Amino acid sequence: MEAKKLLEVTNLNVSFWKEDRLLNAVKDVSFHINHGEIVAIVGESGSGKSVTAEALLGLHDSKATEVSGGIQLEGESVLSDTHSSLLKLRGKEIGIIFQDSMNSLDPVFKIENQFIETLKKHFKMNKKTAKKVAAESLKLAGVPDSDRVLNSYPHELSGGLQQRVMIALTISCRPKLLIGDEPTTALDVTIQYQILSLLKSIQSELNTGILLVTHDFGVVAEIATRVIVMYAGEIVESGKTSEIINNPLHPYTQSLLKSRIPKNQKRDELLYTIKGKVPSLTEMPESGCRFAPRIPWAKSNSHETYPKLHEVSDGHLVRCTCWKAFNFQPEVAI
């Protein structure tokens, strides 16, 4: 029996106006998330992953941005929603956890006030009920001594505790979809592991769908059931996490894994690095494989003129045909 889709994104395009030019940042992105599923979007800075996530909540300035395609939450269109509808959607139906909790929590209000304001806005709760829900959410987020935390200002809490409070605040409205935009990047390894374990427990207990935006394949391997690899605004590979990690096909995916997860590395062997950089929006090519400039040794006829996503096995998609002829060259390891 096919799982019911919580979120379905179809041919999403996001472009930004710069002076009199429209610059494409996300091109024809399609994916879905089922209820209770954790899906990760991975890629370097500038790959379009955060732009994609923000489009789901309508966070882009409508005067400076053009967004097209389809975004449906449980079959209902989100992209066509009015501003007032989006305000109701944010937090209540779709919650987001940002990377920097220091900037996400209001420094001049105690934690208790921030919970009360959020819950009253979405559910018209009275103060007593809101405090009860806040305490329950903090407990679910693994926050000890909720009374003390609720009576504290953000600066009185550690970075790891602030991130847990931010997660508790997000799940207090019991959103159907939770977006984590690099939620563990600024934390040390031990706290990162605790936050990932927390997200998994929330997914299990609340049956929440989670979209995790990250640049770290270690995080992906730890938590996600499926992974979407983005490069220069396009999906270049997607599939089950185990399949992508154990059998990466696209040159970019292979390069990311090789540069981040050393295998059987000798003591005097240097780490692999990907030469070049993600093209800026003003340099984005209109046609051809967007990763081609970073693998110049690959023959030009191995690339498609207009690269498409091909299903190479059940649910495993790869863009372009260059993966068939790709091999690492020893001289690119610097």
Q: Which residues of the chain carry a pLDDT beneath 70?
A: 1-3, 81, 83, 101-102, 186, 261-270, 330-334
- State the Cα–Cα distance between residues 153 and 252, nearest whole angstrom: 43
Q: How far is CA 224 from CA 33, 39, 62, 247, in A?
A: 11, 5, 32, 16
pLDDT number for residue 232: 97
Cβ atoms of 251 and 292 closer than 8 Å: no
pLDDT at residue number 101: 66
Residue 178, strand partner residues: 95, 210
Q: Report how far apart, in Å, the C-alpha atoms of 43 and of each of 17, 33, 147 are.
A: 24, 18, 39
As given in the structure block, the two tokens for residue 202 are 């929330």
Report the pLDDT value the prediction gives residue 267, as an integer from 0 to 100: 60
| DSSP letter (8 states) at residue 111 | H
Which 3 state secondary structure label does DSSP give 18? strand
Backbone angles phi, psi at 309, to 5 degrees: -85, 130
Give SS3 for 232.
Answer: coil
Buried b or exposed e, range 252-271, using 16+ CB within 10 angstroms: bbbbbbbeeeeeeeeeeeee
Q: What are phi and psi of 240, to 5 degrees?
A: -65, 140
- How many CA atoms within 13 Å lie on the side-chain side of 260? 17
Evaluate whether 102 touches 156 at the Cβ level (below 8 Å).
no
| Cα four-point dihedral sign 217, 231, 24, 38 | negative
CA–CA distances in Å: residue 62 to residues 14, 55, 68, 72: 11, 11, 12, 19
Q: State the pTM of this model.
A: 0.91
pLDDT at 183 (0 to 100): 84
Q: Please give the pLDDT value at position 279.
A: 94
Alpha helices per DSSP H over 187-312: 189-206, 217-223, 241-246, 251-260
Residue with tokens 């420094």: 107
Q: How far is CA 226 from the centre of its chain?
A: 12
Q: In the structure encoding, which two tokens stand for residue 210, read together?
A: 């989670």
Per-residue confidence (pLDDT) for residue 333, from 0 to 100: 39
Q: What residues contact 181, with CB distance under 8 A and at least 6 apart? A: 50, 53, 96, 97, 98, 99, 213
